Amino acid sequence: MLWLKAFHIMAVVAWFAGLFYLPRLFVYHADAPVGSQLSETFKKMEHRLLTAIMTPAMALVWISGLTLAWWTGYYTDHWLQAKFALVFLLSGYQGALSRWTKDFAADRNTRSAKFYRVANEVPTIFLIAIVLLVVLKPF
């Protein structure tokens, strides 16, 4: 069980690293001229981050988290159900990041750097809420 918890935590850290970094790349990419070498570099970085780190990490978070919930029996606890709801919403946020990555790849971005600066704060809110639920188990 401790090994699974350790892998779960490592997957969470890797996933959140990507959730924090990808929107930051978008901030700079939004200001890069379309077709420029800088824009093409950002496209590669964004694609690799999403496909090689974030998506596998998210899958490992779900697999290890659901397994831990089952093994521990916590799946009936309301705090864990709330946590799963937040992780589900966070997975939807990654879906939006994936869509935006595709928009940039096709030179279809219509959003400003300011939009992505605000979007960059979303994972922080989720991280705070999830950690508080796990540590405090308030209900």
Contact status, residue 98 vs residue 23, Cβ threshold 8 Å: no
Q: What is the mean pLDDT of residues 108-137?
A: 98
Q: How many helices (H) and strands (E) does the chain have?
A: 6, 0
Instruction: State the Cα–Cα distance between residues 64 and 70, nearest whole angstrom.
Output: 10
User: What is the domain partition of the chain in residue ranges?
Assistant: 2-136
Joined tokens for residue 21: 């970094």
Q: Return the amino acid letter for 137.
A: K
Contact status, residue 22 vs residue 101, Cβ threshold 8 Å: yes
Instruction: State the Cα–Cα distance between residues 105 and 119, nearest whole angstrom.
Output: 19
Going by the DSSP 8-state scheme, the letter that residue 74 receives in this structure is: G
Q: Please report, rounded to a whole number, the percentage of residues in the chain having pLDDT higher than 90.
A: 98
pLDDT of residue 74: 86
Contact status, residue 50 vs residue 101, Cβ threshold 8 Å: yes
Q: Which residues are annotated as a binding site?
A: 8, 83
> pLDDT tens digits, residue range 2-15?
999 999 999 999 99
Q: Which residues are annotated as a binding site for heme?
A: 8, 83
